Amino acid sequence: MTTKVGVIGLGNMGGGMAATLARNGFDVSGFDLSEAALEQVAAKGVKPVKDRAELIRSVDVLVLSLPKAEHVEAVCLGANGILELGHAGQIIIDTTTSTPVASRKVAAALAEKSIGFLDAPVSGGPAGAAAGSMTMVIGAEPGVLERAMPVLEAMSGNRVHVGGYGTGNVVKIANNLLAAAHLITTAEAVSLAAKAGVAPEKLIEGLNAGSGRSAASQVMFPTWVLNKAYNSGFTMGLMRKDVGLASALAGELDLDLPVASLVSQLWQSSRETLADGEDFNCIVMRTDAKLFGHEE
């Protein structure tokens, strides 16, 4: 029998994931608060559902792709949510970049009703979601992971099981802290080299052949910064959320992490010139507006 999958949150990531699952032969329905998002997936083999309760009741597996932990908690534990309307044996794959605390709370509550939960935050952007090539870092109990595997394999090219509930989000938060830092440090290196007479393209080529390379130099600068496209599909607002999650986690654990703290401060204070809706790569403009800005 064809597995019925519901996707809640059909934005830049969830829309692509839903289309990928439909292309891979799953019976896919989707729900979003936005009419436009529902219309977009309808053209890609996904059944748009306007009643979230109906979707929750009718599927075997639910994939969540929501902005923040608070949305995940509301959809899972709130009125007319998954705890109330879901059924034993159902599996929830939460791909939201959320918090370890929220993942553990939701997983424990759903387990009482024999509903399985995985925190499976993703990397790879909207292109990876649409191609089914994302990387997932997964926090889950082995039995739930095994049952979810056919859906996970269809959605992603690479899966790393990092531990029990919540650990997927620990790894994702640490990953995005580094990605946020590398964008700034690489922008500083490019700006420094430009002033010392080396073209940005040549500096990036040199870094990528050396030990200073990272996803910022290998992917972000060549794809979205040097050409000033700034159209990755991941926003300043979502990356600000992620560096904020890293700061909050360090605070909860009473850790003194000066570089992480500075990175978070630089991302939050850039709000004065870079709106939440801008592409996250635009953070490089705070280092050198002339070199990286749109007007150059």
List interacting residues with ligand NAD (CB under 6 A).
8-14, 31-34, 37, 65-67, 71, 74-75, 96-97, 122-123, 125-126, 233-234, 238
Minimum CB distance to ligand NAD smaller for 47 or for 291? 47
Positions marked catalytic? 172
Which residue's entry shows tokens 């990928």?
20
Q: Which residue is nearest to ligand NAD (CB)?
A: 11
Element (H, E) at 14: helix 14-23
Q: Name which of 223, 203, 34 is nearest 126 in CA terms.
A: 223
Q: What are phi and psi of 123, to 5 degrees?
A: -130, 160
Are 177 and 267 in contact by the 8 Å Cβ rule? The answer is no
Tokens representing residue 239 in the block:
């990356």
Q: Closer to ligand NAD at the Cβ: 163 or 237?
A: 237
Q: How far is the CB of 59 from ligand NAD (least distance, A)?
A: 15
Beta bridge partners of 61: 5, 91
Please tell me the distance from the alpha carbon of residue 168 to that of residue 264, in angstroms, as a whole number. 21
d(CA 62, CA 169): 18
Nearer Cβ to ligand NAD, position 74 or 262? Answer: 74
Question: Minimal distance in Å, beta carbon 241 to ligand NAD?
Answer: 6
Q: Which two tokens stand for residue 197?
A: 């007479």
Q: Closer CB to ligand NAD, residue 104 or residue 172?
A: 172
- Least distance to ligand NAD from the beta carbon of 123, Å? 6
Q: Is 165 helix (H, G, I), strand (E, B) or coil?
A: coil
Compute the least distance from the CB of residue 66 to ligand NAD, in Å: 5
Gap between the Cα atoms of 32 and 40, Å rounded: 11
Rounded least distance, CB 52 to ligand NAD, Å: 7
CB of 261 to ligand NAD, least distance (A): 21
- Residue closer to ligand NAD, measured from CB, 123 or 167: 123
Q: Which of 136, 168, 140 is nearest to 153 (CA)?
A: 136
Name 259's Cβ contacts closer than 8 Å, sequence gap at least 6.
181
Which residue, 8 or 246, has its beta carbon nearer to ligand NAD?
Answer: 8
| Other C-beta atoms lying within 10 Å of the C-beta of residue 250 | 17
CA angle 258, 167, 244 (to 5 degrees): 40
